[in-house]
């Protein structure tokens, strides 16, 4: 059994490293009145977006997300308390921040890939095969 533990740990580490990848983008702007700032990014497969801002002197209107094929969908009216999406499909997206004020904001948004069910199925099948090999080696 002690030979099996390093294999399980290696398999779990492989799933974590290949299952999800993340890309973080910084947000920063100084403003002097009404503003609309857009940040465009591309998603290659099922992903989610989370983000947060910290602002001074800003009155937020909203944070909107638009895909190339669809209308804007409101995410939040105060990105200072964070914002997030559900699972998004592949495509080009624009994150739009609107507000007004004399000041500025800083923050980030992170796009994280969501593993597909097939990834977990392959992981479990491989883990089962490792278990079978380990049990046969102990019997022999």
The predicted-structure confidence for 93-122, as pLDDT tens digits, reads as follows 999 999 999 999 999 999 998 876 666 677
Confidence of residue 20 (pLDDT cuts 50, 70, 90): low
Looking at domain 21-114, which CATH architecture does it have?
Sandwich (2.60)
Predicted TM-score (pTM) of the model is: 0.67
Is the model more confident about 72 or about 64? 64
Give per-residue pLDDT as tens, 36-55: 999 999 988 888 899 999 99
The pLDDT of residue 80 is 92
CA distance 138 to 136: 5
């Amino acid at each position: 059994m002690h030979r099996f533990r390093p294999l399980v740990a290696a398999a779990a580490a492989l799933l974590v490293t290949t299952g999800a990848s993340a890309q973080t983008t910084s947000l920063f702007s100084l403003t002097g009145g009404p503003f609309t700032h857009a940040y465009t990014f591309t998603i290659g497969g099922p992903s989610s977006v989370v983000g947060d801002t910290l602002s001074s002197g800003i009155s937020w209107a909203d944070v909107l997300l638009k895909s190339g094929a669809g209308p804007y969908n409101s995410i939040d009216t105060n990105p200072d308390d964070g914002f997030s999406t559900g699972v998004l499909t592949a495509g080009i997206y624009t994150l739009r921040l609107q507000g007004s004020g004399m000041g500025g904001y800083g923050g980030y948004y992170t796009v994280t890939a969501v593993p597909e069910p097939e990834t977990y199925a392959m992981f479990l099948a491989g883990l089962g095969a490792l278990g079978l090999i380990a049990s046969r080696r102990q019997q022999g």
